[in-house]
Amino acid sequence: MKFEICCTFIAKILSMHLTSENTFKKIIIIGDRVLIRPSRPNEKTASGLYLPPGVQEREKVQQGVVIKTGPGFVIPIPVEDEVWKSDDEKVKYVPLQAREGDIAIFLMNGATEIEYEGLKYFIVPQNAILMLEREEDL
């Protein structure tokens, strides 16, 4: 109950400052996670049967478009007491394979479902992504 109230309060605060131009610019994805907008599931099977709305959502594997990615995996900085080194060393990351605009196939058991501005999204760790499809030439 408290979590729902807190999320609702935060969503109201965020919605006051968001416009259509900066909706996802203010969202920061942490670490090795990826924000994915699920694609619309097929409503009809190959044999022509219509599926009820919740059937595809219960599948173990889902598909969607990568909206935003985190910085990646943190590279640990070695601890050395050297006088000549500066104290303000930047954190370094190993970048993720997923990029904005990729189509991702991912495992649902690793995903966290969220609702943002009335739309459903998933926050997925990179290790739960099975495959990426990218439009550019390799």
Q: Is 17 helix (H, G, I), strand (E, B) or coil?
A: helix
CA gap 14, 8 in Å, rounded: 10
Rounded percentage of the chain residues whose pLDDT exceeds 90:
35
Q: How far is CA 23 from CA 3, 39, 82, 130, in A?
A: 23, 19, 44, 27
Q: Tell me: the pLDDT tens digits for 27-57?
A: 889 999 999 999 876 666 667 766 666 666 6
The residue among 110, 14, 28, 11 whose CA lies nearest residue 67 is 28
Full set of structural domains in the chain with CATH: 28-40+54-78+89-133 (2.30.33.40)
Report the range of poorest mean pLDDT among 46-60, 81-95, 118-132: 46-60
**pLDDT value, residue 88:** 63
